[in-house]
Structure 1
Amino acid sequence: MTFANYPSLKGKTVMVTGGASGIGAEIVRGFAKQSAKVGFIDLDAYGSAALADEIGETATFEICDLRDIEALRAAIDTLRDRLGPITVLVNNAARDDRHDWKDVTLEYWDERMATNLRHMFFAIQSVAPDMIAAGGGAIVNMGSNSWWEAGGGFPAYTTAKSAVHGLTRTMARDLGRHRIRVNTIVPGWIMTDRQKDLWVTPEAIAKHADRQCLPDLIDPVYVARMVLFLASDDAAMCTANNYMVEAGSI
């Protein structure tokens, strides 16, 4: 594949949550290849260090449990001190752990909201002043097509992911007058190492392939490429919308 280069991303200061592995790691790599300055946040110290070593001086990270909002704010402040004001935010972090609706407790429900939704708003709240001062910015929230497909087996996850769309649209309205664009990317079944380790089987792949218009499995790089586009000046008039990367599987 030959991919586009986005000159407008050169020198941009970018923050990515959940950047140590999977889709997040490809997003970090993608921005680094565009000569952006990338800070990422993750709970995985080993994976974060390995990715930063791979990329080199254009990437830095902070270890943080995003369920702890004060820790998140502190990590953002640290990355800002290192890299400068943040003008691109990618709210990527999430976990699609399976669970039976009959077993969900109040505590588990609240923890799933904290893992998959709550930190997105508070990350936006933390970086929006940087973008306002800069005269604009781009925020990309990671959704999921699991609830569009009426997928079962993880109701707390799909509820959180459906709420991402409401967050995107209301913040696009509130921040639009500052030329801050807010969009949602909707990935299909992306072939990350986590998915391969936990849920990819020949039977599952065959069933899923019947739902896709395109025959190929989706690599994380294709989600990262959509993120780059939405963060670039090429997407200057794109906001409050969903951008599907699901091979036509809805």
Structure 2
Amino acid sequence: MTSSSYPSLRDRRVFITGGATGIGAAIVESFAAQGAKVAFIDIAEAEGHALCDRLSPRPWFKKVDVTDIQALQTAIREASSDLGDFHVLVNNVANDDRHKLEDVTPEYYDNRIAINQRPATFTIQSVVPGMKRLGGGSIINLGSVGWQSKTGDYVCYAVAKSSTDGLTRGLARPLGKDKIRINTVTPGCVTTERQKKLWLTPEAVASINAAQCLQLEVLPQDIANMVLYLASDDSRACTAQEFRVDAGFI
């Protein structure tokens, strides 16, 4: 699959959460291919270093547990110290482990929110001062069609991801005063290695195909392509919006 070339992304500094595998890895690779200077974090240390080994120039990478906000913000400071203020932030990190309502404990709920919701607010808090110094920037939050399609068995994930558009729209006006754009990219049923191992049974694939308007696999690169567009100057007039990449699933 080929991607468009965005000259405005060359030498742009990009920070990505959850960039070691799946959609995140496709986003990291895609920005690197555009000539951007990429920094990313992930709890999957081996996979993160393996991804860095495949790319040139080598991205900045650090193992970080995003439930630790102090560690998360420290990593952003370290990366910006090495690379400079970030033009682009991609809030990708998430975990959609299934769970039943009756099994949810307060501790489990807090942990799901700490992975799927809370980090985005604090990464934005960390990068905005630098974006203001640069005279603008682009923030891209990753949503989910799961809660929109009323998928069961992950109520905590649904709560967290349904808040993504609220974060995007709630910050668009104040950030816009400093030429900082903020948008949501909402993936559909994306074929990743993790999903193939855990959820994408033949029955599930048949159900997805029946629901989609386009009879195709949505791949991580499809999501990365939309992220690239929203990070580039080509989308200079786009903010406060949700862009679904779901083959017409919703």
Q: Normalising to structure 2: TM-score of the pair?
A: 0.99
Report the equivalent of 1:226.
Answer: 226
Q: Deviations over 1:50-98 (max 9, x none)?
A: 0001013241101100000000011101111111111100000000000
Q: Deviations over 1:169-203 (max 9, x none)?
A: 11112201000000000100100111001111111
Task: Give yes or no for the alignment of 1:80 onto 2:118.
Answer: no
Structure 1 stretch displaced more, 75-84 or 139-148: 75-84
Report the equivalent of 2:245.
Answer: 245
Task: Give yes or no for the alignment of 1:5 onto 2:40.
Answer: no
Structure-2 separation of matches of 1:56 and 1:10: 14
Task: Give yes or no for the alignment of 1:160 onto 2:160.
Answer: yes
Structure-2 separation of matches of 1:58 and 1:27: 15
Structure-2 separation of matches of 1:149 and 1:107: 26
Superposed, 1:118-197 pairs within 5 Å as 118-197=118-197
Runs of at least 5 residues in structure 2 that lack an aligned partner in the other structure: none
Please give the secondary structure, in 2, of the residue aligned with 1:128: helix
- One-letter code of the match for 2:210? D
CA contact (8 A) 1:98 1:154 kept: yes
Q: How many residues align?
A: 250
- One-letter code of the match for 1:156? C
Structure-1 separation of matches of 2:118 and 2:240: 19
Query: What's the offset of the Cα at 1:32?
Result: 0.3
Structure-2 separation of matches of 1:156 and 1:137: 31
- One-letter code of the match for 1:215? Q
Please give the secondary structure, in 1, of the residue aligned with 2:163: helix
Identity %: 50
Structure-2 separation of matches of 1:168 and 1:178: 15
Structure-2 separation of matches of 1:99 and 1:219: 25
Report runs of 4+ in structure 1 exceeding 3 Å deviation: none
Structure-1 separation of matches of 2:207 and 2:57: 43
Q: Normalising to structure 1: TM-score of the pair?
A: 0.99
Report the equivalent of 1:99.
Answer: 99
Runs of at least 5 residues in structure 1 that lack an aligned partner in the other structure: none
CA contact (8 A) 1:36 1:58 kept: no
Q: Deviations over 1:82-131 (max 9, x none)?
A: 11111100000000000000110011111100000100000000000000
